[in-house]
Amino acid sequence: MPFDFINTHLQARQQDALLRKRHVVQHATARTITVNNKTYLNFASNDYLGFADVAVNLNDSQALGSHSSALVTGYQAQQKSLEQYLCEQFGYGAAMLFNSGFSANSSVIKALFQDKAAAQNSAIFQDKLNHASLIDGAMHSNAALVRFNHNDMNHLRSRLEKSKAQNKLIISEGVFSMDGDTAPLKELLALAKQHNAWLMIDDAHGFGALGKTGLGSCEAFITQTLPDILVITFGKAVASSGACVLGSKQFIDYMLQFNRDYTYSTAMSPLMASHTLARIKSIKTADDKRDKLNANIALFKQLAKTHNIAVMESNTAIQPIVLGCAEQTLQAADKLKQQGIWLTAIRPPTVAHNTSRLRITLTAAHTEQDITHLVKHLVGAIA
């Protein structure tokens, strides 16, 4: 029978405790989530500052749709204003908006190396824990893909020294989505300069939550040297959706010519662009929310240590507990649900084999009582 492999693969996923399912969410905030008429404490949201619960009030009425590609009639004043504001904040020459971070990451890499002749003399150096969108982009480009051990600058240096490529692109996340640790940006920038390479940073989980004014992992480098390509997304701390790629004017002009995702996708909604810009301006002054988030992170880490819960080395809102076995991780998540706690069991292929984990995400909306309740029941769930 044709396509018998579909059922075979589904059965294999089920047997390995790796089958993925969707849950219909009736209501969700940064603090709580309601599924099947039951409300849980939500420790799986990327709404790090709790802004999804805050309405954006705009005086003028914006159109919902952009009607076409940005290269036809879809590029409107609202999108240009968002791009310009981000360029001004960071100091980049130009920017372009995408409807998702995945599209931004993968398409930029594919487009940059679309010229097969140039790509034959190019290499992409990626951290082994980079997001799937970054890996997919490199695998579907025409350049060589070189992986280096996670945050291992000596390994990266060795890879760069051995490379004969003329065009070298180093790619890392600012905050790693499954481990919660941060990239050594200062060292990455130095290595890129030393080896005449470009550096691309995906700061999906840093933008909004990190930095003195929420500009993310790269804020400290704005007055110095920024990555050649910066990707920020709006679906996490900004509590919106979409993404922005920032770089030099020449680089963005190149993307406008050769980026297929951008060319053949309907442009970001002007309503979404307006709301996103208003939210980012609010984030700039949201010191109280960032302070609360940092206090919650410190409290969780302290309580976890007190109760001998082995949490990965992370100082960000992402606090993973690696259990290893996929089935055990699912069971732990189910036990927590019985105690009114919603957590995600992260399993392969999202993470490496035997590294299944509970991925705890903390937000500014959580109370001390919420975190105390979480830790109390974590002890029993992972025992």
Cβ atoms within 10 Å, residue 200 = 26
Cβ atoms within 10 Å, residue 264 = 9
88 catalytic? Reply is no
236 catalytic? Reply is yes
Q: What are the DSSP E strand ranges found in 295-342?
A: 318-324, 341-342
Q: 66, 106, 177, 274: which one is catalytic?
A: 177
150 catalytic? Reply is no
CB–CB of 220/184 below 8 Å? no
- Coil, helix or strand for 326? helix
Q: Give, as one character, the DSSP assignment of residue 54.
A: S
Query: CB-based contacts of 61: which residues, under 8 Å, 6+ apart?
Result: none
Rounded-to-integer distance, Cα 260 and Cα 360, Å:
35
Rounded-to-integer distance, Cα 339 and Cα 341, Å:
6
Question: Phi/psi of residue 148, each to 5°?
Answer: -125, 150
Q: 168, 236, 289, 292: which one is catalytic?
A: 236
Q: 202, 203, 261, 370: which one is catalytic?
A: 202
46 catalytic? Reply is yes
205 catalytic? Reply is yes
103 catalytic? Reply is no
Rounded-to-integer distance, Cα 166 and Cα 315, Å:
37
Q: 205, 289, 292, 366: which one is catalytic?
A: 205
Concatenating the DSSP letter of every residue in 250-262 gives: HHHHHHHHH-HHH
Q: Give, as one character, the DSSP assignment of residue 236.
A: S
Task: Indicate left, alpha or beta for 284 from its phi (over 0: left) and psi (-120 to 50: alpha).
Answer: alpha
Closest alpha carbon to 186 in 138, 162, 218, 209: 218
83 catalytic? Reply is no
Rounded-to-integer distance, Cα 316 and Cα 309, Å:
17
Angle (CA) 193-202-256 rounded to 5° is: 85
Active site residues per annotation? 46, 131, 173, 177, 202, 205, 236
